[in-house]
Amino acid sequence: MPATIRDVARASGVHISTVSRTFSAPHLVNPETRSRVLACAEHLGYRPNRAARALITGRTHNIGLIVADIANPFFPPLIKAAESAARHRDYHIFVTDTNEDPAVEEELVHALAKQVDGVLLCSPRMSNSLIEQLSREVPLVVINRQVTGLPSVVMDVAQGARLAVEHLTGLGHRHVALLGGPRGSWTSREIRRAATAAARTADAELTVLGPNQPTEHGGTAQAEQVRRIGATAVLAYNDLMAIGLIEGLDSLGVRVPEEVSIVGIDDISLSRLTRPKLTTVANPTGAAGRAAVDMLLQHGDDRRTTAQVTLQTELVIRDSTGPAPTGKPHTVKE
Partner DNA sequence: TCTGGGTATGCAAAGGTTTGCAGTGGCAAG
Partner DNA sequence: CTTGCCACTGCAAACCTTTGCATACCCAGA
Q: Which residues of the chain form contacts with its own copies (CB under 8 A)?
A: 2, 45, 47, 49-52, 54-55, 60, 62, 70-71, 73, 76-77, 79-80, 83, 87, 92-97, 99, 104, 108, 110-111, 113-115, 136-137, 216, 243, 247, 269-270, 273-275
Strands 314-316, 279-282: parallel, antiparallel or unpaired by DSSP? Answer: antiparallel
Which of DNA, its own copies, none has residue 5 at its interface (CB below 5 to 8 Å by kind)?
A: DNA
Q: Which of residues 115 and 225 has its CB atom nearest to its own copies in the complex? A: 115
Distance of closest approach, residue 158 Cβ to DNA, in angstroms: 42
Number of helices and strands in the chain (H, E): 13, 12
- d(CA 193, CA 188) in angstroms, rounded, equals 9
Inter-axis angle of helices 31-44 and 16-24, to 10 degrees? 90
Q: By CB under 7 A, tell whether 45 contacts DNA.
A: no
Q: Other CB atoms closer than 10 Å to residue 249's CB: what's the count? A: 23
Q: Is 20 in the site for DNA (CB under 7 A)?
A: yes
Which residues are within 8 A (CB) of 61 and not within 5 positions of it... i.e. 6 or more apart?
50, 54, 90, 91, 92, 117
- 191 in contact with DNA (CB under 7 A): no
- Which residue of 45, 56, 332, 333 would you call a contact of DNA, by CB under 7 A? 56
Q: Smaller CB distance to its own copies: residue 133 or 298?
A: 133
18 binds DNA per the rule CB under 7 A: yes
70/316 with CB nearer its own copies: 70
Nearer to its own copies, 94 or 330 (CB): 94
123: three-class secondary structure by DSSP? coil
- Strand 205-209 with 175-179, pairing: parallel
Short-list 288, 147, 291, 174, CA closest to 231? 174
39 interface partner picked from DNA, its own copies, none, CB below 5 to 8 A per type: none
Rg (Cα) of the chain, in Å, rounded?
A: 26
Q: Which residues bind DNA (CB under 7 A)?
A: 4-6, 13-18, 20-21, 23-25, 27-34, 46-49, 52-53, 55-57
